[in-house]
Amino acid sequence: MAAVATIFVLCGVLRAQNKAPLVPSGKTQEIAEHVYVIPDQRMNVVPNIGIIVGREGVLVVDTGMGPRNAETVLNEVKKITSKPVAYLTITHFHPEHGMGAQALPAGTIVIYPTAQKAELLEKGPGMMKEFSGVSTEIADLLKPVRFRMPNITFSEEAEIDLGDFPVRLLHWGPSHTRGDEFVFCPSKASYLAGMLS
């Protein structure tokens, strides 16, 4: 019931906003050494997006809604580093967070909680239909989407080594969705926590 209510509220807000939910270009900020965020600019259904740069590659946290937004994310990464996007993780299965994954390079390893994969398979098509019905701008962003399944899933915790520091991916059970994830950089003492926008 809460999910249905959220969708109705979202529909009203987005119709009033009447803009395509686009990840902003040129707004990326370094929030800790080697840790960047593309802020949501207080735009509905645009998430804060994380970029973590290590010696051996980049971890991207969330893609924005659809391949067009993911291309913006990739362009922002290129402004920061020439290192490859080695990993993608997604904070939860809603379309504005991970349904641009197909735009990332084929060699990028997609990793997130097993519960998130199950929820994407179960609810993803319905959620895409709901979001597409909100506005033509959203429908256009989602039209080219093809689900990209994770290469790796984990139940509670996983660690990614970017070459010079670890990044921990944590799933502590259901919250906003069944597969919510937190991203923790212990050596940077900074959270990219859920980033639920």
The percent of residues above 90 in pLDDT, for the chain, comes to: 81
Quick: pLDDT tens for 49-94. 999 999 999 999 999 999 999 999 999 999 999 999 999 999 999 9
Per-residue pLDDT tens digits for 93-116: 999 999 999 999 999 999 999 999
Task: Assess if residue 122 is contained within a domain.
Answer: yes
Three-class secondary structure assignment of the chain: CHHHHHHHHHHHHHHHHCCCCCCCCCCCEEEECCEEEECCCCCCCCCCEEEEEECCEEEEECCCCHHHHHHHHHHHHHHHCCCCEEEEECCCCCHHHHCCHHHCCCCCEEEEEHHHHHHHHHHHHHHHHHHHCCCHHHHHHHCCCCCCCCCEEECCEEEEECCCCEEEEECCCCCCCCCCCEEEEHHHCEEEECCCC
Tell me how many domains the chain contains.
1
In a domain? residue 6: no
Domain membership flag for residue 157: yes
Question: What's the CATH code of the domain at 35?
Answer: 3.60.15.10
Does residue 101 belong to any structural domain of this protein?
Answer: yes
Domain that holds residue 147: 27-193
The verdict on residue 8 lying in a domain is no
